[in-house]
Amino acid sequence: DSGVTQTPKHLITATGQRVTLRCSPRSGDLSVYWYQQSLDQGLQFLIQYYNGEERAKGNILERFSAQQFPDLHSELNLSSLELGDSALYFCASSAPRGGDPNEQFFGPGTRLTVL
Amino acid sequence: AQTVTQSQPEMSVQEAETVTLSCTYDTSESDYYLFWYKQPPSRQMILVIRQEAYKQQNATENRFSVNFQKAAKSFSLKISDSQLGDAAMYFCAYRGTNTGNQFYFGTGTSLTVIP
């Protein structure tokens, strides 16, 4: 158990809908990353937040957005869903206050299926 | 942007034998961190081993060791005495110190362990 939690575990929805994925980082970690992993693909970096502020942006579609709240949990919002958005979405955290920022710990992922 | 290349999409090894997974990366930074992650069929991302670029000594974690060649920008993973539980997708990752904490992942190598 990495200490990173993600909800829900599974999500099935229809095209055109909007969903929200939630991530709670390890206790004390300031940084949250979101990744998308399509079937048999590598990890695509979407976005990173550090202590509430956006730090880096990767291949994130305009239909997707994220935020990190004062309690450091993060949400990834996916809207106008398409079939191709079906994937495993990972959250990872790192950078504990005063600790080693150089390791990243992954949550179990949310499997999104768009029908 | 930094790139991480894993040129072996698939590898196989006999149980109890040794296998080496390759990874190369491209960077202009002198200080950075390298990682190998394992993703078993459960899809959980598990940190296997990490290497700091400033350390000349290769990292070792039980049966897992790396061959870090900084000049060649090469970072291979050696798995000794392979076990059935080692069967997984393995991802190489890079994190620089001047890239805003972003992690860059390779496309992965699928390892099969043959009994």
Q: Could you give the CA distance from residue B78 to residue B80 in angstroms, rounded to a whole number?
A: 6
Out of A43, A50, A103, whose CB is closest to B105?
Answer: A43
Cβ separation B95–A31 shorter than 8 A: no
β-bridge partners, B52: B33
Does residue A104 sit at the B interface (CB-CB below 8 Å)?
yes
Which residues have CB under 8 Å from A96's CB, separation 6+? A26, A28, A29, A30
Which residues have CB under 8 Å from B93's CB, separation 6+? A104, B4, B34, B35, B36, B37, B103, B104, B105, B106
pLDDT tens, position by position, for chain B (115 residues)?
A: 678 999 999 999 999 999 999 999 999 888 899 999 999 998 899 999 999 999 889 999 999 999 999 999 999 999 999 999 999 999 999 988 776 667 889 999 999 999 9
Cβ separation B104–A45 shorter than 8 A: yes
Residue of B nearest to A36 (CA): B105
Amino acid at B31: D
